[in-house]
Amino acid sequence: MAFSSVPYSLTLPILCLAICSLSLTYSAFTSQDYNDALGKSILFFEGQRSGKLPPDQRLKWRADSGLSDGSSSYVDLVGGYYDAGDNVKFGLPMAFTTTLLAWSVIEFGSSMQSQIQNARSAIRWSTDYLLKAATATPGTLYVQLGDPNKDHQCWERPEDMDTPRNVYKVTTQSPGSDVAAETAAALAAASIVFHDSDPSYSTKLLQTAMKVKHSIHICSHFSGLTTHISDKVGSCYVQVFDFADKYRGSYSDSLNSVVCPFYCSYSGYHDELLWGASWIHRASQNASYLAYIQSNGHTLGADDDDYSFSWDDKRAGTKGFLEKNIQEFELYKAHSDNYICSLIPGSPNFQAQYTPGGLLYKGSESNLQYVTSSAFLLLTYAKYLSANGGVASCGSSTVTAQKLISQAQKQVDYILGNNPAKMSYMVGFGQRYPLYVHHRGSSIPSVNAHPDHIGCNDGFQYLHSGSPNPNVLVGAILGGPDSSDNFADDRNNYQQSEPATYINAPFVGAVAFFSAKSTAT
């Protein structure tokens, strides 16, 4: 999996070469290239699937896995995604991945053309699981499958895994506002995606996410939390955002070493509460969520200027989202502008660090997660500015939507191969890409090629093998190069060579945008 570190301290930006300039340039890639990258960026999620695979599964080297997930707690938790190169299902990054995939479709789905159904399928694979996790037991949200410490002692295909599939949950007594509010955001965002194509599913997603003011029924066997009849058979389930807000606390405190240091909630849960409420308001237009944001925004971090957007910290994304989607929140424009301007070289507010080759650099582990999320926010903000004829205010200067698009395109193009190493950091894209990916299923012969069970310790021969991965994890974007543009194509270097779902999710929207554009930025 992709470990996280305590949020980095902003470092002094280094001088950028010409690639960081704001002058408009021509891309190294055509709209057809971007469309190819779009299809592959979505295909990657099929390699991360857990559960019973469908007949139309395209990555044929994967097979069914985790078919008894949840059985130890007498619940069905089959499905969902493995987060990265391991076999654990972590709820917080999975929910964030889902929110960003949905947001990608909401903003740029009109540019996805033949890939729109694949994008919806990628979202639904996750939301089907999140619905189970949220509705299986009243007053409970299941947030993780698998013991990460035991899992990381093995190198096994998901089809073979025999490590403990422990079930972890947050409850009213052991809260997890961060993971619950992010789950609510994911369900709400996805409800928008399915609003036209599957209205009943969309309604189910939104009802699960939001608190219902007048419940049809309060479950007789559970008190103290709003519940609701979800469908005609009358199953009772928790309203996820209500749960997150009413029973406040970080899941890191409740679950400790089970989630830390893997996906510890370093930023706390305030950002997720504001993020979740924002998405539910967007999906439902329920005035109570607007009132919630107005009443709680300041205490939940809306006034903070933060310069990162990731599975852990949603503040930068929330403020741009609020400004764009809720007219009453133009007051957040200054904060959104501060984040955007921090990314633009030459701006008085410029704070970011770039590599000599022009890549945004924020951390040594899985750095490309920050690159893809920032590129996506640049494009969504550019879309907002274009629609409103506005500019971003950067101190005494302004930045146009076109400059934001140009900066985002440089980051996207760097990932796809326009970089000093002339290497694509998306597996399977271009003429040269990483071959030694830190990913169990990709690095071990498939069950088709090697039907016999490969045990926990037996798999390490493949981790340390000098041969390329036998199974190509098409579309996977890896952690990426270091601050000097150096990249070690080495399975053991997980900081650089491990993929993750939350790296790919915002990239789906970014390449969709460029797939519909001409080669000129």
Catalytic residues: 438, 489, 498
Calculate Rg over the CA atoms of the chain.
22
Tokens of 388: 């409103």
Report residue 460: phi and psi, to 5°. -65, -20
Ramachandran quadrant class, 422 (left: phi over 0; alpha: psi -120 to 50; beta: rest) = left
Helix (H) or strand (E) holding 95: helix 91-108
d(CA 146, CA 144): 7
Count Cβ atoms below 10 Å from residue 256 Cβ, excluding itself: 10
CA dihedral 180→210→201→185, nearest 10 degrees, is -40
The stretches of 367-497 forming alpha helices (DSSP H) are 368-388, 401-416, 440-443, 460-463, 494-497
Tell me how far the alpha carbon of residue 467 is from its chain's centroid.
30
Q: Are 307 and 342 in contact (CB under 8 A)?
A: yes
Tell me how far the alpha carbon of residue 316 is from its chain's centroid.
14
Helix (H) or strand (E) holding 238: strand 236-238
Nearest residue to 507 via CA among 432, 434, 383, 416: 416
Report which DSSP code applies to 393. E
The number of CA neighbours under 13 Å toward the Cβ of 279 is 36
d(CA 250, CA 174): 9
The stretches of 140-176 forming alpha helices (DSSP H) are 148-151
Q: Are 380 and 43 in contact (CB under 8 A)?
A: no
SS3 of 111, please? helix
The stretches of 247-400 forming alpha helices (DSSP H) are 251-255, 270-284, 287-296, 315-325, 333-342, 368-388
Tokens of 254: 């409740």
